[in-house]
Amino acid sequence: MSGDEAWRLHVDATRCIGSGVCAGMAPAYFVLVDGLSRPLAERVAPDDAVLDAADSCPVEAVIVSEVDTLRRIAPEP
């Protein structure tokens, strides 16, 4: 997977409230561990499910960015 084909997933543990929205919308990418969301992998191929999960997080704890530049993709700044 080259840099322009990869996204970085991050969940801000200080913001996450464990709503489970991300894990419910994108179970191939997120899981709840001890009541908080965690990405299953830091680098992933682009997928609309990841964007939907980030945009749906009620506290904007899920951050999707480009691997190479770290430019935020979702949620929109």
Q: What is the tens place of the pLDDT at every residue in 1-22?
A: 444 589 999 999 999 999 999 9
pLDDT tens-place values along the chain, 77 residues long:
444 589 999 999 999 999 999 999 999 999 999 999 999 999 999 999 999 999 999 999 999 999 999 999 999 87
As a whole number of Å, the CA-based R_g of the chain is 11
Output the six-digit token pair for 4: 């322009």
Record the pTM: 0.90
In Å, how far are 2, 68, 71 from 37, measured between CA atoms?
26, 24, 22
Could you write out the DSSP letters of every residue in 11-66?
Answer: E-TTT-----HHHHH-TTTEEEETTEEEES-SEE---HHHHHHHHH-TT--EEEEE
- What domains can you pick out in the chain, each with its CATH number? 3-74 (3.30.70.20)
